[in-house]
Each structure stands twice: as C-alpha cells, then as structure tokens.
Amino acid sequence: MNNGMFTRVSALIAAGVTSTASAQTYTRFDALPNGTFPTQMDASGRIVGTAIQTGQPTKVFVRNTDGSIILTNAPSGDWEGFAGTDQIVGRYQDASYREHGFVGPIAGPFSSFDAPGAVDTYPAGANTAGQIVGYWTDSAGGLHGFLRNAAGSITEFDVAGEVTTQPLAINASGTVAGLVTDSSSVLRGFVGTPGGTFTIFNFPSGTAYAFAHINDVGQVAGYYADINFNAKGFLRDVNGTFTTLNLPGQVIPHAINQGGFIVGVDGGKYHGRKSGFLRRPDGTAATLQFPGATFINSSTIAMDINQVGVIMGKYQITTTTGGDTVWHGFIVTGAH
C-alpha cells in the first residue's frame, strides 16, 4: 500500500503551434522539467505517465483536460494506464527487483497486487470496467496470464496448448489480445476471452518479437519484428484479415481507437529522425512531427489516440551540435 497526498501543480504549456502543411495543431506539456513520458490517454482526454526532475524520485502524473497536472504518489515503473473511470494502474519494481502491480484512485491510496504464486507480476492493460490484464512469471521463468476484476479478484489463465501466454491488452467487453509461444518456440498472437475461447493468429516467418493492442470493436494492431528487431506494423481485422502496414522504416504502432485509426512511430531503427504517424482505416497516413523536431535523431512518438481523434505522445529535439535533449509531452489535433 502506498498512501499519500497528491499535489496539484500548474501545467507548463507552450502555445499551440499549427503546421500549415497538414492543419495539425500541437500543444506541448511538461509535468516536470527534466522529462515527461506519457503512456495512455482516456476517452475524455486525460493523460497518465511519468515525469522526472533532476535529483528527485520519478513521479506518476495525470494531466487533466484543462491542462492542469496532478503529481501522484503512485509507485513509478515502465507502464501506467487508466482503469475504470477514476483509477490509475501500473507496475513497479521493488528493492529486490521484483515486479508488482498497483492500482488506486488518482488521489491515492494505491494498493499493490500480485498474481497468486507469481515471482513477478506485469499489468499490461486495463479497461473502463476496471478489469486489469497482464502476465506473471513462475519460478521457472514461464509466462502466464491473469485477469484482475474491479473488486480485486485475480484469475490466472493460459491459452490451451501453448507453452507461454502473455496478455497485453483488454477492451471494454473483456476481450484480450496478446502473444503465445508453442512447443517449437514459434511466437504467435491471440485474441479471446478468459474463461471462453481464444483464436490464435500467425505472424510472418522469422518473427522473434511482437506486441498487440486491441480496440473495443476487436481489431488488433501492433508490430512484429525479426531477431534484429526490424519491425513492421500490422492490423488484424475482426474477420481475421492480417495486413502489414505500408509505412516506411521501423513501424511500431502504440494504439488503435474504436474507429480503426492507428498511431505510433516510424523511421530509423537506431539513428535518423523518427516521426509519429496516423494510419487511417482507408490505408492513408499522416506524418506527425512536432514543430522543430526536424534535426537528425530528433523524435516525435505518437502514444495514443482517443475516439474523437485527439493524439498524444512525446517528443525530443536534437541539434547539430548536441545529443538527446529533454523529452516533452504533446497533444495534436487536426490529423484525424
């Protein structure tokens, strides 16, 4: 249990900047001065993530739709999201380097949770009903799935016939998407309902890494990559059609909304400018680039999109003489 008060601070918002080429309007925000890393946006436009200030512990923040920032006392880790209507969920590492989940109202207190018998517990997604899905490791390092309901009860599950089960996302109706490996160590995707049936789908031959997101319609979007992490984005439609996204360079989708609009990042794998993208249901795409993030190795990364087409993400700008600078959050409208 992590109890504590929360602090409301003023958002540091730069004036909106319009890109005349695409009528995109960008708004920058910083939760703390030395790095802002948003991870998820809810239907209303609230944003959750982490932020840093030099010499201080990393803080989990929530940005409200009016631009104000709440710095919470939630334990910080590498993923945070919204669960239900007014709770945040995430995962964190303890002093023994073990992973745990947490959940609680924005104002706190926050409760830790673990899957029964787990060595490590990794929440990965949540829905508006307050259900949380993720995976846990056993003493042999095997991966298994779990579903935590809004009341706190945890059900563990595995996809029948598979060696590992790694749930990654859950939609409003409780349909889960994730990854499995079989006895030959072949990585594949799955979609279905714990306690019900699961459908397995294949990635192209040679896939060594993958990720999956799901919208409320049941469309699954994500990426697949070979052993050298050459990544391609994909869309699996509700009828089972699997489409590789026709976008340049490394393509890593981060979200798909209910209308089938996909956002993410594409560009160079290690070096070179990286840009955000919006891929529309008709297959057309728009490039997302925060004004000024045009130098070599600068990055604009789209992280989420809500139903009305508001996109949020993070960006950093390099210069011809300097290295990576501070990461900032952004919101962009007009690309949808």
Q: Hey, what amino acid is at 190?
A: F
Beta bridge partners of 212: 222
pLDDT number for residue 269: 73
**Average pLDDT score over the chain:** 91
Q: How many residues does the chain have?
A: 336
Q: Is the pLDDT of residue 336 over 90?
A: no
Domains of the chain in sequence order: 7-333 (2.130.10.10)
CA distance 157 to 174: 14
Taking the C-alpha atoms of 292, 298, 303 and 308 in order, what is their torsion angle to the nearest 10 degrees?
Answer: 20
Helix (H, G, I), strand (E, B) or coil at 5: coil
Q: Hey, what amino acid is at 153?
A: S
pLDDT number for residue 15: 31
pLDDT per residue over 182-207, tens digit each? 999 999 999 999 999 999 999 999 99
Q: Where does the pLDDT of residue 323 fall: very low under 50, low under 70, confident under 90, or very high at 90 and above?
A: low
pLDDT number for residue 10: 32
Q: Is the pLDDT of residue 22 over 80?
A: no
Helix (H, G, I), strand (E, B) or coil at 151: coil
pLDDT per residue over 32-55, tens digit each? 999 999 999 999 999 999 999 999
pLDDT per residue over 262-291, tens digit each? 999 998 776 678 999 999 999 999 999 999
CA distance 250 to 264: 10
pLDDT number for residue 114: 98
Helix (H, G, I), strand (E, B) or coil at 67: coil
Q: In the 8-state DSSP scheme, what is residue 269?
A: S
pLDDT per residue over 227-269, tens digit each? 999 999 999 999 999 999 999 889 999 999 999 999 999 987 7
Global pTM?
Answer: 0.92
Among 89, 153, 167, 163, which Cα is nearest to 116's? 153
